[in-house]
C-alpha cells in the first residue's frame, strides 16, 4: 500500500481516414480543412473550419479525392482545390509494395 497511485493513460484523439476508413491517432494523419478560401492542408491541425483526415499514402488520397473527401467536408472541390490537392498527392509515396509485402 505504499507508493503513488498510477496515473491514468493519456487520451490520444482518434480520427478516421476518409480514403481507407482506418482509425488511427490524429497526429498520424494529414488534416484537410474547408475554409472560405477553399480546401487546404492543415499541417498544425488547429485551423478553424470543417476538417477531414487522410493517410500520407497516395492510394488513400486517390480514393478520397473521388468523392469521400467532398462528402466529409460537406462541400464540392473547386478545380483549383482539386488540382492543388492532386499536386500534393503526387509528392506522397506509393504504398502498393508496403501493403502487400510483395514487390510487383
Q: What is the pLDDT along the chain (104 residues), one digit of tens a residue?
A: 567 888 888 999 999 999 999 999 999 999 999 999 999 999 999 999 999 999 999 999 999 999 999 999 999 999 999 999 999 999 998 875 444 343 33
Cα separation, 84 vs 61, in Å, equals: 12
Helix, strand or coil for residue 24? strand
Find out whether 67 and 26 touch, Cβ atoms under 8 Å.
no
Q: For residue 99, what pLDDT is reported?
A: 46
Cα separation, 68 vs 54, in Å, equals: 10
For the chain, list the domains and their CATH numbers.
Answer: 14-96 (3.30.1230.10)
Amino acid at each position: 500500500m505504499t507508493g503513488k497511485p498510477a496515473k491514468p493513460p493519456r487520451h490520444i484523439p482518434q480520427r478516421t481516414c476518409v480514403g481507407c476508413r482506418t482509425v488511427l491517432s490524429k497526429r498520424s494523419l494529414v488534416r484537410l480543412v474547408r475554409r472560405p478560401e477553399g480546401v487546404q492542408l492543415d499541417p498544425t491541425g488547429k485551423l478553424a473550419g470543417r476538417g477531414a483526415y487522410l493517410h500520407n499514402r497516395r492510394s488513400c488520397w486517390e480514393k478520397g479525392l473521388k468523392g469521400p473527401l467532398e462528402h466529409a467536408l460537406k462541400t464540392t472541390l473547386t478545380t483549383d482545390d482539386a488540382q492543388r490537392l492532386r499536386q500534393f498527392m503526387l509528392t506522397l509515396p506509393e504504398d502498393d509494395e508496403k501493403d502487400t509485402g510483395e514487390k510487383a
